Amino acid sequence: MKLVPLGDRVVLKQLVAEETTKSGIVLPGQTKEKPQQAEIIAVGPGGVIDGKEVEMHVEPGQKVIYSKYAGTDVEVDEETYIIVKQSDILAIVE
């Protein structure tokens, strides 16, 4: 199964937050409140959203920071995805 986002929606897959301290100890992600790093899986076509033309500026494969509290969790084939609006993506991580 494949998720095809509509409008200005973007399908994300959260990156496992492997928090490693400087000394190399891996800590499990504790806080649910921090903004999330994720990889873009699929990007909607944009177009007229709520009466306003929206152009898409992101593409699949990019790693991004998205706004905490944004998005909807979707479970498809036992994988969890997050569907956000492009405007909930704050920055690309290069």
Rg of the chain, C-alpha, whole Å? 15
Q: Which of 16, 38, 72, 79 binds a second copy (CB under 8 A)?
A: 72
In sequence order, the 6+-apart residues with CB closer than 8 A to the CB of 56 are 8, 10, 43, 44, 45, 46, 86
Q: Does 27 bind a second copy (CB under 8 A)?
A: no
Q: Does 5 bind a second copy (CB under 8 A)?
A: yes
**Phi and psi dihedrals of 88, rounded to 5?**
-85, -5
For 41, the token pair is 């899986």
Q: How far is the CB of 33 from a second copy (least distance, A)?
A: 9
Q: How far is the CB of 11 from a second copy (least distance, A)?
A: 7
Q: Does 60 bind a second copy (CB under 8 A)?
A: no
Contact 64, 24 (CB under 8 A): no
- Which residues make up the interface to a second copy (CB under 8 A)? 1-7, 9, 11, 22, 34-35, 42, 44, 47-55, 57-58, 65, 67-68, 72-76, 78, 83, 86-87, 89-94
